[in-house]
């Protein structure tokens, strides 16, 4: 009753050739008469033959899958606008090659390294994406030791044998600061991401540098953690400063939206009393009130390019070049406005 799926042997016998020839024909390898190739392909088609990943995997020692490890920590995982779109981009490449994406979510009490180790020990994937890069990221050496090909999302600061797909966060951050400067702000504060992250410090240093270029100093730089809760905390501290900033630049939208709420809860009007800007252009940015001025990248494209780059490595390319993606673009909405008049 259960229809067994046809194997290469079935195709062979139907086409009246050997298994070896079928394999050659199916993989489009030279050295077979065109007539027999046609015959084999026809037979395979009539039988509805599909290659067995399992058998191929065992035979050629490949998994035909790529891996992504993310932590279960809500700070990284929950409602982050990056991963869903990134994953969709990755899949758009994988689905055309018959590859699968294996997601490894690191649960409480484990380190992210455990996730990569599991993936490597189980030989579940042929390569992995290295996201949320840290300074002196220990995972790079780990992956080298595990012999697992990888592509890093953004460029690590230490030595790395892996190709990097990068999206420079600095122009976007600069554009936001520039925009605020043009609105007349001079007391601008920043709520940064955790300094362990490469992209967090890239944004905060660009923030500082852009102000410096205009001859200004930051009103303050608060450490956030990319979560809404952290955004609230940081915002409260900023609003309690003796000389309250007139504008706050957040390292992501979640903190910015939370900050917006905190400012409003404190009785401030945005942008009249305080301008607020985010980073990511997440879905809600456009729809909160007032709409959030932010910076928009293309995480789907990021996923596509990262998958293509990783696949070059997996396919055996020895020199895979880094790829630089176009920087994020400023999106001006209503949460930023002209600086309030100084009450002296």
Partner DNA sequence: TTGTAAGCGTTATCAA
Partner DNA sequence: TTGATAACGCTTACAA
Is 61 a binder of DNA (CB under 7 A)?
Answer: yes
In 3D space, the residue among 149, 72, 66 whose CA is nearest the CA of residue 109 turns out to be 72
Residue 118 binding partner per list DNA, a copy of itself, none, with a CB distance cut-off of 5 to 8 Å that depends on partner kind: a copy of itself
Q: Tell me which of 2, 3, 27, 319 binds DNA, using CB under 7 A.
A: 27
Name which of 18 and 107 has its Cβ closer to a copy of itself: 107
Q: Tell me which of 14, 32, 204, 313 binds DNA, using CB under 7 A.
A: 32
Number of alpha carbons in the 13 Å side-chain half-sphere of residue 276: 33
339 CB contacts (<8 Å, ≥6 apart)?
183, 184, 185, 186, 246, 247, 275
Residue 262 binding partner per list DNA, a copy of itself, none, with a CB distance cut-off of 5 to 8 Å that depends on partner kind: a copy of itself
Query: Rounded to whole angstroms, how far apart are CA atoms 101 and 241?
Result: 47
In the numeric block, which tokens belong to residue 21?
């020839």
> What phi and psi, each to the nearest 5 degrees, are found at residue 151?
-130, 135
CB of 4 to a copy of itself, least distance (A): 10
Query: Rounded to whole angstroms, how far apart are CA atoms 166 and 322?
Result: 8
Q: Tell me which of 146, 261, 322, 332 binds a copy of itself, using CB under 8 A.
A: 261
Q: The tokens 């102000």 sit on which residue? A: 211
CB of 96 to a copy of itself, least distance (A): 9
Is 9 a binder of a copy of itself (CB under 8 A)?
Answer: no
Note whether 90 and 165 are within 8 A (CB). no
Residue 143, exposed/middle/buried by CB under 10 A (0-12, 13-18, 19+)? buried
Name the pairing type of β-strands 329-331 and 294-296: antiparallel
Q: Tell me which of 149, 290, 327, 337 binds a copy of itself, using CB under 8 A.
A: 290
Is 41 a binder of DNA (CB under 7 A)?
Answer: no
Number of alpha carbons in the 13 Å side-chain half-sphere of residue 191: 34
CB of 285 to a copy of itself, least distance (A): 9
Residue 78 binding partner per list a copy of itself, DNA, none, with a CB distance cut-off of 5 to 8 Å that depends on partner kind: a copy of itself
Name which of 64 and 300 has its Cβ closer to DNA: 64
Helix (H) or strand (E) holding 60, with range, is helix 53-60
Is 291 a binder of a copy of itself (CB under 8 A)?
Answer: yes
Note the residues at the interface with DNA (CB under 7 A). 4-5, 7-9, 16-21, 23-24, 26-27, 31-33, 35-37, 49-52, 54-56, 58-61
Note the residues at the interface with a copy of itself (CB under 8 A). 2, 50, 52-55, 57-58, 61, 63, 65, 72, 74, 77-81, 83-85, 87-88, 90-92, 95, 98, 100-105, 107-108, 110, 118, 121-124, 147, 227-229, 231-232, 254, 257-258, 260-265, 282-284, 286-291
């Amino acid at each position: 009753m259960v229809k067994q799926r046809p194997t290469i042997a079935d195709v062979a016998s139907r086409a009246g050739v050997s298994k070896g020839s079928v394999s050659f024909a199916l993989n489009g390898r030279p050295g077979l008469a065109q007539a027999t190739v046609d015959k084999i392909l026809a037979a395979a088609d009539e039988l509805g033959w599909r290659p067995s990943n399992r058998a191929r995997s065992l035979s050629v020692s490949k998994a035909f899958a790529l891996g992504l490890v993310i932590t279960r920590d809500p700070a990284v995982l929950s409602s982050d606008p990056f991963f869903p779109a990134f994953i969709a981009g990755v899949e758009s490449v994988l689905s055309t090659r018959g590859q699968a994406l294996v997601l490894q979510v690191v649960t409480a009490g484990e380190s992210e390294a455990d996730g990569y180790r599991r993936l490597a020990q189980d030989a579940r994937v042929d390569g992995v994406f290295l996201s949320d890069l840290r300074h002196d990221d220990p995972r790079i050496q780990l992956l080298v030791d595990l012999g697992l090909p990888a592509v890093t999302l953004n460029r690590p600061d230490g030595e790395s044998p892996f190709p990097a797909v990068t999206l420079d966060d600095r122009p976007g951050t600069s554009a936001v600061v520039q925009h605020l400067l043009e609105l007349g702000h001079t007391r601008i504060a920043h709520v940064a991401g955790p300094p362990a992250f490469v992209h967090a410090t890239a944004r905060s240093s660009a923030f500082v540098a852009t102000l410096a270029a205009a001859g200004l100093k930051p009103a303050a730089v608060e450490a956030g953690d990319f979560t809404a809760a952290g955004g609230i905390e940081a915002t409260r501290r900023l609003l309690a400063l003796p000389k309250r900033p007139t504008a706050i630049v957040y390292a992501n939208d979640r903190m910015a939206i939370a900050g917006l709420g905190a400012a409003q809860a404190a009785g401030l009007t945005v942008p009249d009393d305080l301008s607020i800007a985010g980073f990511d252009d997440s879905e809600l940015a456009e729809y909160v009130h007032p709409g959030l001025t932010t910076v928009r990248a293309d995480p789907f494209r990021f996923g596509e390019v990262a998958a293509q780059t990783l696949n070059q490595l997996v396919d055996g390319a020895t020199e895979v070049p880094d790829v630089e993606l176009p920087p994020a673009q400023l999106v001006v909405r209503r949460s930023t406005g002209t600086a309030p008049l100084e009450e002296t």
